[in-house]
Amino acid sequence: MWGRILDRAGIHTPQARQEYTAQVQAVRRFAPAEYAAARLLLPAPLQPDVVALVAFMHETDDRIDRGEKPEREEALRRWRQATAEALQTAESPHPVLQTLARTVERHPVLHGRIEAFLDGAAHEVAWEGFSSEAEVARYIEEYSLPALMLSMGLLAPDGEAAAAEFERGCLELITAMQRIDFLEDLAEDVREGRVGLSDEALAAHGLTAKDLGPEAAGTAPVAALVAAQTATADASLRAAEPVVELAAREHRPFLRAVVSVQRLRADAVRDAGAGLVVRPCGPSKARCGVVLLQELLRGAVPLARRLKSPA
């Protein structure tokens, strides 16, 4: 099956096929839900490229998330240099960058996307907490959005105005996704000493980051905080819905599934409430699987009708 995907994407040389196959195996391990959605719902010619971009994003995030701030800054500097060399020469000893270089050759517009993402990665390196909601919004717009647009940019509609509107919708989508991420990771982030909730949002419920330890599980102020943050994510998800209809028809099943899975994540966070300070949460694999199946069936009906219609 994957071999046929590579054929349809025009990737024929044995070396290139081996490189893309290695990346798809890696993405399947560290991002199984995203992998399933891409493999089941994206057009075949785009799948290797999206896999390569997700692998690059994950590798970047992993490298700059280790150690103290000076170590993270140095890791980003070295990774930027390696990335630039790979894109300039179309060669790299690092498998992720080698496959990325091949993908950029296929989609030269990605040069700008990659530069914006690496520029934004400096925000992730420097992040130690947020004082205000404005700081959260800036982090999302300058780091999270460029990360999302690495792959989503390949789904953008033609035309400058439509593409700009699509990106605005993607900003709403990643705003919801990032806020849900911060809630899902609350217990781990508290242990590490930096949380994705602003001091401003915490203060609105009479809290500080120090009040989010395990002893806060089940308390009313934390429950109210989680409910308010989830409501904000819900509002962003509603505002993101136009991205589906803005995209080309063949991309809509994937985008609908992405939005639907975020709703499931928001529901799981809402249900967990103040329990998020002691354990992570997420939607069940079965519920996510239902979303993918619904989109597959939704696409199969018109296909069957076309196949039955006279030539």
Q: Alpha helix (H) ranges present in 90-144?
A: 95-106, 110-126, 133-139
**Region class of 67: left (phi > 0), else alpha (psi between -120 and 50), else beta:** left
Q: How confident is the model at residue 310 (pLDDT cuts 50, 70, 90)?
A: very low
150, amino acid identity? L
User: What pLDDT, on the 0 to 100 scale, is given for residue 307?
Assistant: 35
**Percentage of the chain surpassing pLDDT 70?**
96
Contact 114, 104 (CB under 8 A): yes
Range of the domain at 300: 165-311
Are 201 and 99 in the same domain?
Answer: no
Residue 155 lies in a domain: no
State pTM to two decimals: 0.92
Are 172 and 114 in the same domain?
Answer: no
Residue 141 lies in a domain: no
Residue 240 lies in a domain: yes
User: What pLDDT, on the 0 to 100 scale, is given for residue 30?
Assistant: 87
Are 76 and 212 in the same domain?
Answer: no
Residue 149 lies in a domain: no
112, amino acid identity? G
pLDDT at 303 over 60: no
pLDDT at 301 over 80: no
pLDDT at 309 over 50: no
Contact 162, 170 (CB under 8 A): no
Are 174 and 103 in the same domain?
Answer: no
Residue 154 lies in a domain: no
Model confidence over 199-235: pLDDT tens digits?
999 999 999 999 999 999 999 999 999 999 999 999 9
Q: Over the chain, what is the mean pLDDT? A: 93
Count of domains forming the chain: 2
Mean pLDDT of 151-176: 96
